[in-house]
Amino acid sequence: MSDASRIKTALVKNSIPELRSMSRLRELQHNPLQFLSTLTQEYGDIVQIKLFFWPVVIINHPDYIKHVLQENYKNYDKNVPIFNLFRPILGNGLVTNYGGESWLRQRRLMQPAFHRQRLTTLGQLISTATLQQVQHWESKAREQQPVDVAEEMMQLTLNIVGQSLFSLDITSKTTTFGTAFSQANAFLLEYFNRPFPPLSVPTRRNRNFQKDIKSLNKVVYEIVQQRRNNQSQEEDLLSMLIEARDEETGEGMSDQQLRDEVMTLLIAGHETVANALAWSWYLLSQHPEVEQRLHNELDQVLAGRTPTLEDLPQLPYTRMVFEESMRLYPPVWIIMRKSLGEDTIGDYSIPANTYVAWSTYAMHRHPDFWEQPENFYPEHFTAEQVAKRPRHAYIPFSHGPRICIGNNFAMIEAQLVLATIAQRYHMKIVPGHPVEPNPLMTLSPRHGVLMNLYPR
């Protein structure tokens, strides 16, 4: 009996509901968000499917997710199709590293750059970069020219990451980098559904993908080389990476290692926040009562001045708006692990070498844990509501030892960007412009978010 057959047999013996319908499984390829959202309604909080040749257990309960991410995290690594798919772009950076000592060394090396004390120095940088980004909106607002706020947020957050983590102004490179990544991202999702021919075969599709990788690499290697040639010592993450030495050999990181880490930080550090902000602007435009309450808070607390880091504790509704946006449209919409050994999740036995996956998109809309699961309702994040809810019902940054290293940075950045722009502009979606989620590496708006700007 093959390994796959043994795994499948073991799972069936332990009575995990199994989805066998081929038509439903095809829905996973064509509409994965809808597919994952309906599984709980039909099968409960745990179900097994077959993804190509792989048995996969899909979970959708806070206790199950907590077990995998925190209680027995050492039994679950990232050697899974979802993360391996993006290795051509991210290499062996912090996000895609399987785990163990290699990942732990990477995490320990980078952690000081994200300490709260260091983040307090970045508030002014974020607000200034945001003001610079929206300066050219003034003429567009006067001339009633719409703006794609999804694209604008991509450029802004990429610039902020460049300055805050690498002390570099990469404004001139943001368009090239963003375009290349978007195209490579879309290609990989298509390739996941149709993995043929191999990437090594020089088809037109594969050549275009390799061209995008070269464009991304060019930006990253220029960042690394610029710092190597710079005699001044910046106290930032890039310096930490370049100066890092192996405890046993004394060797520093190779250019390939540096490339993987810088690429991971550039992409993970801007793509997730940018998409969450784009969804925030869209949701605010659809809910004028929420937008008005946000404006009222900003006007009362800031009285027209640019927000600072010190203002954030006095802007709770601003935070709630952003958290609710990430609930409905979590940037990382699906997560997967592989069991290294046998385990038990809830009352169900999980064999070794089993893929376990869960959708944050589906978990964040689970009717057992959210008062208004399908509605934009920032009151989900009042202190009282948060206290009543299981911690792992809301996991936009994952959780446990492998929680996103930049989660605090992302929250500070997003709140300052949201406050800085919302106190200056009221936005409305361009009539007829389609807005729908596109589940790539992150959950992005498929056609952007085209909006008309109205100065306040």
- Return binding residues: 404
Element (H, E) at 344: strand 343-345
167 CB neighbour count, 10 Å cutoff: 16
Taking the C-alpha atoms of residue 127 and residue 302, their distance in angstroms, rounded to an integer, is 13
Q: Cite the DSSP H helix spans in 287-397.
A: 288-302, 316-328, 360-363, 383-388
**Measured CA angle at 267 (ends 203, 154), to 5 deg:** 100
Taking the C-alpha atoms of residue 398 and residue 405, their distance in angstroms, rounded to an integer, is 10
Find tokens 């909006």 and name the residue: 451
- The annotated binding site for heme is made up of 404
Task: Report CA torsion sign: 269, 274, 275, 281.
Answer: positive
Q: Tokens standing for 119?
A: 């983040």
Element (H, E) at 229: helix 204-229
- List residues bridging with 345 in a β-sheet: 348
Taking the C-alpha atoms of residue 57 and residue 7, their distance in angstroms, rounded to an integer, is 11
| Cα dihedral 425/377/358/334 (nearest 10) | -10
Q: What is the DSSP string of 183-204?
A: HHHHHHHHHHHS--S-TTS--H
**Residue of 223, 235, 212, 229 lying closest to 260 (CA atoms):** 223
- Give the 3-state secondary structure of 386-431: HHHCCHHHCCECECHHHCCCCHHHHHHHHHHHHHHHHCCEEEEECC
416 CB neighbour count, 10 Å cutoff: 27
